[in-house]
Amino acid sequence: MTKRLLEFKLCAVLVLVCSTAALAGDARETPLVRAVKRAQASVVNIHSQKTTYGENALFASNKSRKVNGMGTGIVIDPRGYIVTNHHVVHGVDSLRVTLVDGSTFQAKIISFDRKRDLAIIKINPSRKLAVMPHGTSSDLMLGETVIAVGNAYGYEHTVTAGIISSLSRDVEVNEEQSYENLIQTDASINPGNSGGPLLNLDGEVVGINVAIRAGAQRIGFAIPIDDARKIIARLLSIEQLNHTYHGLRSTDVKSAARRELIVDSARLGSPAAEAGFKAGDVVVKAGEVDVVDGTDFERALLGQPAGEKIDVVVRRGEANETLALVIAKRQGFADNDRSSVVVRANNDGTLIRRTWDTLGLKLSRLPDADARVDGTKYNGGLQIADVRNGGPAALSGIRQGDILVGLHIWETVKDDDVAYVLDNPELKTADALKFYILRGRDTLYGHMRVALREK
């Protein structure tokens, strides 16, 4: 056998070995593996801490203890907006978010819907984050393979797989919390998975994991993504978060073959009406954001100041048209759904009276030269100018000259922050309101015994 023939046979063997290895690698990268790879960068792990108090605790001391919690979130906007379950963030003192690359960030709560158990939190990343690909829950099939990713028992980015066991389940967790139209799955869902994605084999989120059946094996539940996206759109509403508005009324249309945002109408005299939106228009793009539903539309406008012009592409008939939408300042807020957090304007002195009557406090802005908040973890605060004798604040030990830096789970840097708390539907029946104050260089916190009722 000649040398050239030997070389040829050796090359053939090497080609065969390489081809076999490549085929083996392809076989290992199953659709499930590819789905996880596509989605995992958009899954975050949430670690929380809250303080529990003894019945008669005034300020935090040996009568309080710290409790750690865990959950999961889904990135819905590259600027760091994340959706999770409300019960993951309810009543927490602090939130820490960990990305798949191990980087960690402090997070704050933006808005929530207690009844539907969804919340938006935000981190401030140094780069744009990968947004979770979202599918539709309109065409889910019994027996379809699904994947859960989350912070199960604190084991970050745990992946489990199973099938869809049932659809349209109504589940009552307790007297205060019940769910409708849930997806049932046998993919293992454990404490810490709450708020994480239920994926299909395309790596698209089709549900948000929310609950398990205590004492059962492999019975978990998820909120259908089509239902969740409608709530998320409201939680990201620029009316609620930016005090601006567009006036567009629209409907999400979701099916296996169609995912579109259809214009129903535009409020008379609104920016949308001025821009020329018509019933039947399909919103294709807003600014740089491709739009398939109301969540996309709201996040495209989120953070834009009043007077900003946004180019919105709509499909009208067979052609695309570009409309110039100039968002406007919104002075009042309609509160059509008491389950969501709504900010109202308080520019007529009402807030001053309500703060005095409800909390027993008169608040004022910190002078520019006041440096007492500098060097602390707080973004600012409101000075306590007066305390009503016998009021909730006085009975809790708050004094004139203290700086109020937080109520419940929110900071109190400006008047609107206090209005946000007093208008919060979750607190309407609360008897105790957590507060944080600075006294000198010390942070004190405790509970005021108040009843935040309807105005």
- Domains along the chain with CATH numbers: 31-235 (2.40.10.120), 243-329 (2.30.42.10), 350-449 (2.30.42.10)
Catalytic residue among 77, 113, 117, 281: 117
Q: Check if 90 is active-site.
A: no
Q: Is 339's pLDDT higher than 50?
A: no
pLDDT reading at 455 higher than 60:
no
The mean of the pLDDT values for the chain is 83
408 tagged catalytic: no
Amino acid 337: pLDDT:
36
The string of DSSP codes covering 108-124 is: EEEEEETTTTEEEEE--
50-59, 198-207, 283-292, 439-448: segment of lowest average pLDDT: 50-59
- Catalytic residue (choose from 42, 48, 194, 237): 194
Residue predicted with more confidence, 139 or 420: 139
- Using pLDDT thresholds of 50, 70 and 90, give the confidence band for residue 345: very low
- Quote the percentage of the chain above a pLDDT of 90: 48
Overall average pLDDT of the 419-444 stretch: 76
The pLDDT of residue 357 is 86
In sequence order, what are the beta bridge partners of 433? 448
pLDDT at site 454: 47
Is residue 152 over pLDDT 80? yes
Distances (CA, A) of 34 to 10, 126, 201, 209, 270: 35, 27, 8, 20, 45
Residue 34 CB partners (closer than 8 Å, separation 6+):
203
Residue percentage of the chain with pLDDT more than 70: 83
The least confident of 85-89, 211-215, 334-338 is 334-338
| pLDDT above 50 (res 84) | yes
In this prediction, residue 240 carries a pLDDT of 81
- pLDDT-derived band of residue 211, with 50, 70 and 90 as boundaries? confident
pLDDT digits (tens, 9 = 90+) for 120-130: 999 999 999 99
Contact yes or no for 159/198 (Cβ under 8 A): no
Query: Strand pairing of 205-212 and 155-172?
Result: unpaired
Q: Which of 139-153, 290-304, 323-337, 379-393 has the lowest mean pLDDT?
A: 323-337
pLDDT score at 271: 94
Identify whether 194 is a catalytic site residue.
yes
Comparing 341 with 206, which gets the higher pLDDT? 206
- Is pLDDT at 332 greater than 50 in this prediction? no
| Catalytically annotated residue among 87, 157, 246, 408 | 87
Q: What pLDDT band is residue 218 in, cutting at 50, 70 and 90?
A: confident
- pLDDT (tens digit per residue) in 221-233: 999 999 999 999 9
Higher pLDDT, 239 or 19: 239
Assess whether pLDDT exceeds 80 at residue 41. Answer: yes
Q: Is the pTM of this model over 0.75?
A: no
**Tokens 């969804």 sit at which residue?**
118
pLDDT at 335: 38
User: What number of residues does the chain have?
Assistant: 455
DSSP state at residue 174: S
| H-only helix segments in 262-362 | 271-275, 294-301, 350-359
